[in-house]
Chains A and B, each alone.
With several copies, the nearest count.
Chain A
C-alpha cells in the first residue's frame, strides 16, 4: 500500500513544484519588501516624532493583533467594495508584506532601544547626522539583537504564506491538502510538505547563524 501511495505521490511532483514555487515567490517578494518597510517603520518609530510614532504603533498593533486570514480577506474581498480590485497574487503579496513589515518593525524597535545610550551620545558628540548615527553606530549594534528574531520572523512568514490558499492561490500547503485526497496518508503527505518548507527555511537559518557568528566575533562574545 505504501508503495502504491509513493507511486501516486511521485506522479504529483509537477503540482508540488508549482506549489513550492508559489510559496517561494510569495515569501521572497514580501520578505524583501517587508524588511525594507519594516526597518523604515522601526526607524521612524524611534525617531522622536510623537505623532508618526503613535500612528505607526497603532497600525502595528492592529496588524499584529488580528489573524492574518482576516487581513487577507479584507484586502481581497472587502477592498473591492471600496473600488480597489486586486487579483489574488497581488492581494497575497500586499497582505504578507504588510504583515512582515509590522512584525519586523517591532523587532527593529526593540533592537534599537537595546543599544546603550553612551553609544548614541558618542555619535551625537562627533556630529553624525541622524541617519549616519543609525547607519554607522546604532543599527550595526542593534543587529545583534535583531538578527535572531528577524530570521525567526522570516521563517514564520514563509509558513504564514500558506494562508493565501484561502483566496485561491495554490501554495505548498494547499498542494498537500489536494494530494492528501488521493493519497490518504496525511502523515506521509505532510511529512513531505514539511520537507518542502525545510528546504526553503533551513538555508535561511544557517545563513543567519553565520552572520550572527561574524557579528559576535567582532564584539568579543560572552563566555558564560
Chain B
C-alpha cells in the first residue's frame, strides 16, 4: 500500500483517457467503486465497456488519468501487477478457456499454481464450483467438446475459483439460456453477498435490479449516467439513456 490514495474506493478512475489509434475509446472516465459494491455497466455495443473493465486489471494501458485499484496505482513501477491480479477475477467476453486443459483443469490451474492450494483440495473445490454452474458431468471435457453456454460457465467457475477481492465480468451470461442465466446469476449473487466488489458488464436488467448498488451507462467511451438501479430505470436523466431504456422495455 505504498502508493495508497486518500480515497477509500476499491477501484478509482480519475480522468482516465484511452485511445486506439485515433479512436478515443475511453473519455475522461471518473468513477469510484466502493469495497463490496456491485456495479453494473451497460451501454450500446462498441461504447467501451469491455475496454473499461480490461483497464482495471491492466490488460489495456491508459494514456492519461489515474487508475487506482485496491490502493495501488496502475502503471506505477512500485505496483506488483502479478500480485494485484491474483486479487482480481476476470471473465472474458470470449471466454478464453485454455484449449489444452479440461474444464476442471481450467478451474484449478490458478488456485494450484498461484494460490498454492494443494491439488486435491483445489480439485474438490473445482468440482463443487462446476457442479454449482450445472457442469458436474463435464468436468473432464475439453473446451472444444463443450457447447457455448457450457464454455461460458467454465469461464465463470474459473473466475470464482480464485476467490478474489474484485470480480470483473464481461457479459457473463451472453451464451446462456434464460433458465441457466438465472442459475448462474444466483451463484454470482451468492458470491456478491459474501462481500466481494464486482463490476459486471451485462444487459440483464433483472440482475441489475436485484443486486446492483449502481448502474453505469456508457456511450461512445464516456459515462453518460450513473445511479442506483431504481433511479436509472425509473428516472433516467439523459435523453440517451431514455432512448436506450425504451428499446429494452419495448422489446
Contacts and interface: CB of A to CB of B under 8 A. Distances in A.
Question: Do A and B interact directly, with beta carbons closer than 8 Å?
Answer: yes
Interface in B68-95: 82-90, 92, 94
A126 B96 contact: no
B88 A125 contact: yes
Given A121-B59, A140-B100, A215-B100, A128 B113 contact: yes
Contacts of A218: 99-100, 142
B233 interface: no
Interface string A129-162: 1101000110011000000000000000000000
Contacts of A125: 57, 59, 85, 88-90, 92
Contacts of A215: 100
A127 B114 contact: yes
A165 B104 CA distance: 53
A199 interface: no
A204 B142 CA distance: 28
B135 interface: no
A127 to B, nearest CB: 3
A214 B23 CA distance: 22
Contacts of A83: none
B90 A136 contact: no
A124 B113 contact: no
Contact of B142 (A122, A124, A220): A220
A167 B222 CA distance: 71
Contacts of B110: 126-128
A128 B58 CA distance: 14
B109 interface: yes
Nearest to A137: B98
B174 to A, nearest CB: 16
A7 interface: no
A218 B114 CA distance: 24
Nearest to A126: B110
A127 B86 contact: yes
A119 B162 CA distance: 17
A65 interface: no
A55 B15 CA distance: 40
Contacts of B158: 126
Contacts of B96: 118-119, 121-122
10 contacts: A121-B92, A121-B96, A124-B58, A125-B85, A125-B88, A126-B162, A127-B86, A127-B87, A128-B109, A218-B100
Interface of A: 118-119, 121-122, 124-130, 132, 136-137, 140-141, 215, 218-220
Given A132-B114, A215-B100, A220-B144, 16 more contacts: A118-B94, A119-B98, A121-B59, A125-B59, A125-B90, A126-B86, A126-B90, A128-B82, A128-B110, A128-B113, A136-B98, A136-B113, A140-B100, A141-B99, A219-B100, A220-B145
Q: Top 10 closest A-B pairs, CB basis?
A: A220-B144, A127-B86, A126-B110, A125-B90, A122-B96, A127-B85, A118-B96, A127-B114, A140-B100, A132-B113
